[in-house]
Homo-oligomer: A and B are copies of this chain.
Amino acid sequence: MASSWLNIAADAPFSLANIPFGVISTKRDPTPRPAVAIGDYALDLKAFSSSNGFSEHAEIHQYRSVFAEKTLNAFAALGRPFHRATRAYIQELFKSDTKYAAFLKDNVQFRDAALVPLADVTSHVPLAIGDYTDFYAGKNHAYNVGCLFRGPANALQPNYTHLPVAYHGRASSVVVSGTPIRRPWGQVLRDPKAEPKVPALAPCEKLDLELELGMFICRSNEMGSPVPVNDAEEHIFGYVLMNDWSARDIQAWEYIPLGPFTSKNLGTSISPWVVLADAVPKKAGIKNDNELLPYLKEDLKENVLNIHLEVDIATAGGSKKTVSKTNSSNLLWSWPQMIAHHTITGCNLQTGDLLGSGTISGTESGTEGSLLEITGGGKASIQVGGDERKFLQDGDTLVIRGWAGEDGARIGFGEVSGTIQAALPLF
């Protein structure tokens, strides 16, 4: 990768090779607006574009009003060739031998107006999310959870390897990294074996994380028009880290027969910077031994993302532990397959829709994407410094990090974090 005139640390997540897009505000200007992250800075695209920063590229300049919006939806809707051109233009801007030195490199005034230290920005949910769908493509997670509930012989349901299982999630409670998560009250069945089954109303006692990736849709499809799997890549804007907070005790009681509901809609956290689809390296996912139906057959064989993922728990007392290290390739289904299946009956995906991968777990100890798996359903404890944990406690901060690529050209996602607040008295 070329070097930059900007000082970018070798292990910086937002390298010159990356250029992820987000929405920021600052004390000086509290209006949310698009930006990219590079090194320790955000380039304010509203300020940059309105000062004709894109004037060396006629098409980007022509559509520069998308950078004056409060979300990335308008930019996303312009499609992947446009995103590609914008990313390449911004990479050129920051190269040591940039053609566009007049804008930032040699122009202190322009730089002061448009380049903001990341420490000074507030991040926002980057796109207005119309609908949010959560898949269940992490086969090892599905297997691990299936073993806990049904034993190894029936761990995976018969449909699991034939279609990407998913459910519609709650868009309104998707929040950006850093937003505190309130421990929920809910209905729980404390003794599943007692008859009759009488639930209690209580603060959740099994609050868990789910390590996931999120994907934003850029190109919409019309209702009634399924997206062919080999065209689906053009519908992908980019990716974020996701923590799909889960109230396990509430979920166990409510989810039959229509799936998870209040156990999931308490909040879903995402990282603020959308790494563009072009930027992320791919590899082969988990092999599927089934003959797939034609609408799920991809030409591309190296079809899932190759991102290192880590999960830390930090306690209110200051202890900290990395509880999982895994890789995003632990999926049975690729994003294009998820899109193809989501739309096969005619569902219209729209710009800004968010799809979750499902929990990502490896096959070995220390690679699981949820405490449910790590503690065997709460049977075992893990040590976090001097503290024991089966599930999340009040004051715990959960941090997920992710990156691809090598030092000097890292494709980093930054992190998604959230701190658990104590349940409030009800009413």
Contacts and interface: CB of A to CB of B under 8 A. Distances in A.
A283 interface: no
A182 interface: yes
A75 interface: no
Most chain B CB within a 10 A radius of its CB, from A158, A223, A258, A293: A258
Q: Is the interface of A mostly helix, strand, loop or mixed?
A: loop
Interface stretch (A169-177, A308-316, A394-402, A406-414): A169-177
Contact of A136 (B163, B258, B260, B267): B258
21 contacts: A157-B257, A159-B187, A159-B197, A162-B197, A162-B199, A163-B253, A165-B258, A165-B261, A168-B168, A172-B223, A172-B350, A175-B223, A182-B224, A185-B344, A200-B293, A201-B294, A224-B266, A265-B342, A265-B346, A294-B426, A295-B427
Contact of A353 (B172, B186, B260, B267): B172
Interface string A104-140: 0000000000000000000000000011010010000
Given A159-B199, A182-B346, A199-B293, 14 more contacts: A130-B171, A157-B256, A167-B258, A170-B347, A171-B171, A173-B348, A182-B223, A186-B345, A187-B293, A201-B293, A204-B345, A255-B258, A259-B260, A262-B342
A345 B259 contact: no
A5 B218 CA distance: 52
Interface string A250-285: 100111111111110111000000000000000000
Given A163-B187, A171-B130, A345 B257 contact: no
A348 B172 contact: yes
A253 B170 contact: no
Nearest to A142: B257
A346 B172 contact: no
A223 B173 contact: yes
Contact of A345 (B162, B250, B295): B250
Interface of A: 130-131, 133, 136, 157-159, 162-163, 165-173, 175, 182, 184-187, 189, 196-201, 204, 223-224, 226, 228, 247, 250, 253-263, 265-267, 293-295, 341-342, 344-350, 353, 424, 426-427
A163 B185 CA distance: 14
Given A185-B344, A199-B159, A258 B259 contact: yes
Nearest to A262: B345
Contacts of A182: 223-224, 346
Contacts of A167: 167-168, 258-259, 261
Listed from nearest, the 3 A-B pairs whose CB atoms lie closest are: A259-B259, A184-B345, A265-B347
A421 to B, nearest CB: 8
Contact of A173 (B165, B262, B347, B426): B347
B262 A130 contact: no
A199 B344 CA distance: 14
Nearest to A345: B184
Contacts of A293: 187, 199-201
Given A199-B293, A347-B266, A168 B165 contact: no
Contact of A261 (B166, B170, B173): B166
A73 to B, nearest CB: 14
B259 A184 contact: no
A341 B262 contact: yes
B258 A223 contact: no
A296 to B, nearest CB: 9
B158 A197 contact: yes
Contacts of A204: 345
Contacts of A261: 133, 165-168
A346 B175 CA distance: 13
